[in-house]
Chains A and B, each alone.
Chain A
Amino acid sequence: MLDGVWANWFRLWIPSWRFFDEVGSAPKIFFQIRPRGEVTGDSNTIWEPLQDKPGFRAIGLFFNPSGNIYHCRSNLIERLALESQIVQSTELENSTSYLILADWVRSNLKPLAHDSEFEFRFKLTVLTISGDGQAHDTDVLASTWMTA
């Protein structure tokens, strides 16, 4: 993991020239919530997509904080989806990408809490395109239940 850390220090020095160069994995975040302490089976709750995409605002040409942090979060989940392919799950749960995403999902679910205590978990899916051009979402990572 440390190799990746030191790469963070040099990434800016090397210009990036490969915008949208390939079909991305287009990871998506889904979540489940349940009252704290309640134990449910894996199949009892439906996975819902996390609605964290900001809307368009014309002023965004000058001032677009929500759009840019969303862009940053999109890069984060692409990185986490990649890391999930090469790192063991126990190590992954302590990784920076995982911790940031867990807090991101937690902060997005806060408005759903309505003062009640609940637990949540999230999963990541990536886009796979079959030979006939059809797109499918494939699960790559499911978190454990966490307190909100």
Chain B
Amino acid sequence: MILFWTQLLAGLACLLQTLEYLALRSYWSNSGPWSAKNLSAEYGRFRALARIGFSQHVLELMIAARFAASIFLLGSFLAPQIVTSLSLAALALSTLYIAVRFRGSFNGGSDSMTFHVLLSCLVASLWPHLALTSVHYITALVVLSYFVGGIVKLRSANWRSGLALKAIFEHSQARHAGLLSLRPLSANSYLLISWLIIGWECLFPAALLNSSLLWFFLISGGVFHFANFLVFGLNRFFWIWLAAYLAVYLSATLRNGNW
């Protein structure tokens, strides 16, 4: 199974996410802010249906299925192929359900990447002749996630001047409290870091050119996501991008022969 390590890491990412959902029960239970009562308010004439679909019990069921599927996926080297496929399908479906319940996504881009990695692994598991296509699809997602982000930043005057980064570091609600409650940096530091980020993101496709560049971009990408965890607390991005990086490595080595 060509995507074995990717699906193993995706299983770990899903297990960690599931444990977090369990710990957040008071927020999505009937008496919490994300209760079915509040969530169904925007469904108009489908309100009663939404209230049932988003009820605490349905989410509990989804989380239980997700927990079991993550464990099965982590033990997939012992299990028959059908169990792996069912686990991947359950994880992809529950990821979609939780995202819809939390009004589009629970954790932004990491939900989307989790969903696409799981779908790709599911396709590879059900139709082995499409496994290589799945690997290249995940690679394309990773490369585009940085490249498009880099181009958008390059076109933004606020990013080019360092102002956007200053606003994110000093005012963003997303910034983590605690370890890296950074002191404001100088305008030149923001400018330099902004251009390093823009350059790194725009040049990421070069990772597919040779093995030295691949290792440079994958290692620096890992450091980038770890830094995002330290500053913004974004742990989910770290794990699911790590899972996707394994597909990028595979895709690049397969495309370029024996590096």
Instruction: Identify A60's interface contact among B104, B116, B229, CB under 8 A.
Output: B229
**Which residues from chain B contact A62 at a C-beta distance below 8 Å?**
16, 235
Q: Is A21 within 8 A of B156, CB to CB?
A: yes
Stretch at the interface among B55-63, B66-74, B125-133, B170-178: B170-178
Chain B contact residues, majority secondary structure: helix
Chain B, 29-46, CB within 8 A of any chain A CB? 32-35, 38-39, 41-44
Most buried by B among A7, A57, A100: A100
**Which residues from chain B contact A77 at a C-beta distance below 8 Å?**
173
| Residue B24 interfacial (CB < 8 Å) | yes
Q: Can you name 21 A-B pairs with beta carbons within 8 Å?
A: A1-B42, A9-B100, A11-B112, A16-B105, A20-B164, A21-B149, A26-B167, A53-B173, A56-B176, A60-B235, A61-B235, A62-B16, A63-B23, A65-B20, A68-B107, A71-B174, A74-B173, A79-B103, A95-B42, A99-B41, A129-B167
Further pairs besides A16-B112, A20-B168, A22-B164: 14, Cβ < 8 Å:
A2-B42, A4-B42, A12-B95, A15-B144, A23-B167, A26-B172, A28-B173, A53-B173, A54-B176, A64-B20, A67-B233, A68-B107, A76-B103, A129-B167
B contacts, CB < 8 Å to A = 16, 19-21, 23-24, 26-27, 32-35, 38-39, 41-44, 95-96, 99-100, 102-109, 111-113, 115-116, 141, 144-145, 148-149, 152-153, 156, 158-159, 163-164, 166-168, 170-174, 176-180, 226, 229-230, 232-236, 238
